[in-house]
Amino acid sequence: MTADVNHMLGRADWLNTPGIQAVFSALELEGDQARVVGGAVRNTLLGHPVPDIDIATTARPETVMQRALDAGLKPVGTGIDHGTVTVISRGVPYEVTTLRQDVETFGRQAKVVFGRDWVRDAERRDFTLNALYSDRRGHLFDPLGGLADCLARRVRFIGDPDSRIREDYLRILRFFRIYAAYGEGDIDAAGRDACLRQRDGLRHLSGERIGHEMRRLLRAPLAAAALRMMNDSGLWEIATGGLARIEDYCALRGLAPFAPDVSDPELGLVVLGGFVREDLERICDRLRLSNAERNRMRTAWAAMKFLRQSADPTAPPPDARDMIYEFGRQGAVDGLLAHWAFRKAQGTPPPEDDWRELLERVRQAPLPAFPVKGADLIAAGHAPGPALGELLQKLETEWRASKFTLSKVDLVLRAGSSG
Ligand code: ATP
Ligand code: MG
C-alpha cells in the first residue's frame, strides 16, 4: 500500500514544479529536512484538489528567512513568532513552519518551543489524517499510522480527544468540518462525544475563528449531516447564539443537482439561521462576516421573505424578471432556493419542473433596465423638480406592470407633455 501511496504522491502536480523544488533545495541545507504536511498530502491521497501547501522543517524561522533570500525566493515573515514564514516561489506561496513541540497550552495560546523531532510535531496536530508528510520526492512519512484512517476517510483525534480539545477548542469545529469535507461513513463516536462534553469551551473562541471554520464547513459535501449532529448536541447554538433550521438546510442541500449555489456559505446561513431578520443580523455579527457577505445575505433574506409572503400554493410562480429586477440575479437565485427548501421541509414543495425552469430563467434572463431618464421627460416638456421624480416612479411602476415591455417612447407618451 505504501508503495502505491509513494507513487501517487511522487506524481502529484504540486510536487513536480520547479517552484516547490526550489523551496526544498533552499531549506534542506546543513542537515535540515523539510516535508509537506497536512492538507496537501491528505487531499492528494483522497483525490481532492490541493489549494495550498504547508511545509514543515527542522530549520529555524530566521534560518528559513535567510535561506529563502539566498536562494532568490521571497520570504514573508508575518507569522514568524509562531514559527511560520511564507516563502513565495515562482509566484506560489508556501507556508513553511518550523517543527514545534508545545510545552504548555492556554486555550488557543500555546507556548511554542521549536524542535527537531518529527514525531512530536505530528503529535501536536489535530487528526491522524492530517499528520501525514511527504518529502520532496513523494516519499510518505506516517509517524502515527494516519494513512489507514486517511484512506478510510476516518477523522480521529490524535491522542485523548478531551485533552486535545481543551488545548484548542477550535478543534471541535475542525472535527466536524474535516469530517464534512473529507469523511465517509459514521463520524468517529469517541471524537463526537468529546466535542459534546467540551462544548462550553466554544464560548472562548473569537468570532473570526468560528466564522472561518463555519464557512468552510458549509462548503463541504457532508455539511448537512455534520450540522445536524452539531445542532443535536447543542454546538450550533453555542457557536452562533441561535437555532438552526436543520430540515430546511437539508432540503436546500438536496437541491444541489439544480444549483451549485446551495453550498455557498451565505445562502446556507440564511436558510439555517436567518428565519427572522434579527437572527440573521446576530449571525453576521457573531461570525464577523464581511460587508459583501452581509449584503448577499440580506438580499437573499428579503427575496425569501417576499416569496414566503406571496406563497399561496394556487398562485402562479413568481415572475423571473421581476425577481431579478428587485433583488439582483444572485439575490433572486438565493431567494428562490431558500424558499424552495423551506417549502420542501414543510412537506409542500412547489412543482419541481416549474421551479427548475424558473431558476433557469432567473439565471438567463437579461437584467431589465428602466429606459426613461429624467432628461427624457424634460426634453418632452416636463419641468424639473420633485414632481418629475414622482412621475418617473409612476412610469417605472407601469413599466414593471407591463412586464418590462413598454418602450421609452411608450412611456414618454404616457407621461403626456406636461407634468
Ligand atoms: P485545508 O487547508 O483543506 O483546510 P488543512 O488540513 O491544510 O486543510 P490547515 O488549517 O491549513 O488545514 O492546517 C494545516 C495543518 O496544520 C493541518 O493539516 C493540521 O495538521 C494542522 N492544524 C491546523 N489547525 C490545527 C489545530 N487547531 N490544532 C492542531 N493542528 C492543527
Ligand atoms: Mg492547508
Q: What is the DSSP string of 97-115?
A: EE-EEEEEEETTEEEEEE-
pLDDT of residue 312: 67
What is the 8-class DSSP label of residue 267? H
Best of 35, 48, 54, 128 for a ligand 1 pocket test (most atoms within 8 Å of beta carbon):
54
pLDDT of residue 106: 58
pLDDT of residue 406: 93
Banded pLDDT at 310 (limits 50, 70, 90): confident
Q: 213 CB under 6 A from ligand 1?
A: no
- Cα 130 to ligand 1 centre (Å): 7
The string of pLDDT tens digits covering residues 156-204 is: 999 999 999 999 999 999 999 999 999 999 999 999 999 999 999 999 9
For the segment(s) 1-152, the CATH number from 3.30.460.10, 3.40.1280.10, 2.40.10.10, 3.20.20.370 is: 3.30.460.10
The string of pLDDT tens digits covering residues 353-363 is: 999 999 999 99
Atom of ligand 1 nearest to the CA of 52: 2
What value does the mean pLDDT of the chain take?
A: 93
Max Cα–Cα distance, the chain, nearest Å: 88
Nearest alpha carbon to residue 82 among 51, 60, 67, 63: 60
What would the mean pLDDT of 410-416 be, rounded to a whole number?
89
The string of pLDDT tens digits covering residues 76-117 is: 998 998 899 999 999 999 999 999 876 656 555 666 678 889
Atom of ligand 1 nearest to the CA of 216: 4
pLDDT at 130 over 90: yes
pLDDT of residue 242: 86
For the chain, the domains span 1-152, 159-238, 242-368, 374-418
What is the residue-wise DSSP string for 332-373? HHHHHHHHHHHHHHHT-PPPHHHHHHHHHHHHHSPPP-----
* Full-model pTM: 0.90
Best of 130, 155, 158, 212 for a ligand 1 pocket test (most atoms within 8 Å of beta carbon):
130
The string of pLDDT tens digits covering residues 17-51 is: 999 999 999 999 999 999 999 999 999 999 999 99
pLDDT at 126 over 50: yes
Burial 170-186 (b: 16+ CB within 10 A, else e): bbbbbbbbbbbbbbeee
- Cα 57 to ligand 2 centre (Å): 16
pLDDT at 154 over 80: yes
pLDDT of residue 110: 60
Query: What strand order describes the sheet that includes 133-134?
Result: 74-79, 84-89, 92-98, 53-57, 34-37, 133-134, 140-141
The string of pLDDT tens digits covering residues 214-224 is: 999 999 999 99
pLDDT of residue 100: 84
Q: 130 CB under 6 A from ligand 1?
A: yes
Nearest alpha carbon to residue 210 among 269, 127, 122, 128: 269
What would the mean pLDDT of 114-142 be, rounded to a whole number?
95
What would the mean pLDDT of 262-285 be, rounded to a whole number?
94
* Portion of the chain with pLDDT greater than 70, in percent: 95
Whether 1-152 and 159-238 share one fold: the answer is: no
What would the mean pLDDT of 345-369 be, rounded to a whole number?
92
Banded pLDDT at 275 (limits 50, 70, 90): confident
Q: 162 CB under 6 A from ligand 1?
A: no
pLDDT of residue 419: 41
Atom of ligand 1 nearest to the CA of 40: 7
Q: 83 CB under 6 A from ligand 1?
A: no
CATH-assigned architecture of domain 159-238? Orthogonal Bundle (1.10)
Banded pLDDT at 392 (limits 50, 70, 90): very high
pLDDT of residue 107: 59
- Kindly state the cell numbers that stand for 403: 412586464
pLDDT at 418 over 80: no
Indicate if the alpha-carbon torsion angle 413, 414, 418, 419 is positive or negative: negative
CA distance 79 to 63: 14
